[in-house]
Amino acid sequence: IEPISMAISIGAASIITGYFSYCRFAECCPKQRPLNATALQLALEEKLFGQHLAAEVILKALTSFRNNDRPKKPLTLSLHGWAGTGKNFVSQIVAEHLHAKGLKSNFVHLFVSTLHFPHEQQITLYQDQLRKWIRGNVSACASSVFIFDEMDKLHPGVIDAIKPFLDYYEQLEGVSYGKAVFIFLSNAGGDLITQTALEFWRAGRKREDIQLKDLEPVLSVGVFNNKHSGLWRSGLIDRNLIDYFIPFLPLEYSHVKMCVRAELRARGAAVDEDVVTRVAEEMTFFPKDEKIYSDRGCKTVQSRLDIL
Ligand SMILES: Nc1ncnc2c1ncn2[C@@H]1O[C@H](COP(=O)(O)OP(=O)(O)OP(=O)(O)O)[C@@H](O)[C@H]1O
């Protein structure tokens, strides 16, 4: 080997070694970290209760997105459903499977409408900041994940600021957004989802028989026409830039019990069925007559366990 090529090889090797040892201590943006679809599937099956549609769509969407080396646009998921049905919980699972540090990763960004965009008079400022923040972060790490919680409390129009980033452009001002993931969380559409779930229940049909096609079209139209959805008349829907509208079904008594058991296990406590029943019976269920669905899903399970 000639001395020059030898020097180049040694140089390259030390850069690679240096990079990997640096990445052992500091978080590096994963260039081509493949998605462990089996682990994601297992996590969804074991941890997420009563959401067969969400589990199926999320797994499919992420697997096909990450199997594609050159996605034409970022992945955009819009999660809808009643409070406490698992939207934030699932986002956390997804984040952990895309970046090892999950929500704590420098490449996962959580926006909460009432915290980050509270004032209606400052929409233009928020739009500007949002564009800068996203452009900066995607430039630093192409596979950045952005989660927008409380979309239903976001002032109309704010989100349209990021429309160009979600569109089919290979590059915009030198930045390519195709590998980023955007997740929108919203209570909007919860009533439509409950209505469909109730219709199935009243007709004696199984909850698991509800299919995406029973809900997705109603959801996208419902959200588009709802002034308090954050996506009211949004160009994101108009231009078909949301890849999946994902319904979260209202949780039943049996699911609440599953949440209590999971919480007990997470605390390292024994699963006492008397405790499980007592917590589940403390929750309130609707509609008034049938009392099928928990009005806060599993949201207050932890606090109810604390005071038991
Ligand atoms: N389907 C579910 N399966 C398992 N655990 C759940 C589920 N739904 C909720 N939980 C539990 O309840 C907690 C609260 O749920 P989560 O924050 O995900 O609700 P959400 O749908 O985001 O509600 P909100 O719309 O009010 O923000 C979760 O951290 C989790 O422990």
Nearest CA owner, ligand 1 atom 26: 83
Scan for tokens 């698992």, then name that residue: 86
Integer angstrom CA distances of residue 186 from 57, 82, 86: 17, 8, 11
Q: How far is CA 222 from the centre of its chain?
A: 20
Q: What 3-state DSSP class applies to 241? A: coil
Reported ipTM: the value is: 0.99
Residue 85 annotated in ligand binding:
yes
**Ligand 1 and 85: CB distance under 6 A:** yes
Nearest CA owner, ligand 1 atom 19: 84
Contacts of 38 (CB under 8 A, 6+ apart): none
> What residue type is 33 in one-letter code?
R
| Cα distance between residue 236 and residue 232, in whole Å | 10
**Ligand 1 and 264: CB distance under 6 A:** no
| Cα distance between residue 72 and residue 168, in whole Å | 6
Query: Which of 80, 85, 249 for mutating ligand 1's site (highest number of atoms within 8 Å of CB)?
Result: 85
Atom number in ligand 1 closest to CA 50: 1
Residue 240 annotated in ligand binding:
no
Handedness of CA 304, 191, 186, 252 (dihedral sign): positive
Give pLDDT tens digits along the chain (308 positions): 565 665 556 556 655 555 555 676 678 888 766 799 999 999 999 999 999 999 999 999 999 999 998 899 999 999 999 999 999 999 999 999 999 999 999 999 999 999 999 999 999 999 999 999 999 999 999 999 999 999 988 888 888 899 999 998 888 889 999 999 999 999 988 999 999 999 999 999 999 999 999 998 888 888 888 888 788 878 788 888 899 999 999 999 999 999 999 999 999 999 999 999 999 999 999 999 999 999 999 999 999 998 87
Specify whether the CB–CB gap between 237 and 231 falls below 8 A: yes
| Angle, helix 87-98 to helix 52-67, in steps of 10 degrees | 20
pLDDT for the residue 180: 96
pTM of the model: 0.90
| Cα distance between residue 188 and residue 80, in whole Å | 6
pLDDT for the residue 284: 95
**Ligand 1 and 49: CB distance under 6 A:** yes
Specify whether the CB–CB gap between 126 and 154 falls below 8 A: no
| Cα distance between residue 222 and residue 242, in whole Å | 14
**Ligand 1 and 130: CB distance under 6 A:** no
Query: Which of 90, 249, 259, 265 for mutating ligand 1's site (highest number of atoms within 8 Å of CB)?
Result: 259
Helix H segments across 99-170?
113-116, 123-140, 163-166
Q: Which two tokens stand for residue 59?
A: 């797994």
Nearest CA owner, ligand 1 atom 28: 89
| Angle, helix 37-47 to helix 87-98, in steps of 10 degrees | 160
Q: What is the DSSP letter of 79?
A: E
With CA atoms as reference, report the closest residue to 258 among 208, 304, 298.
298
**Ligand 1 and 189: CB distance under 6 A:** no
Contacts of 219 (CB under 8 A, 6+ apart): 80, 189, 192, 193, 245, 247
Nearest CA owner, ligand 1 atom 8: 86
Q: What is the DSSP letter of 252?
A: B
Residue 74 alpha carbon to ligand 1 centre in Å: 25
pLDDT for the residue 88: 98
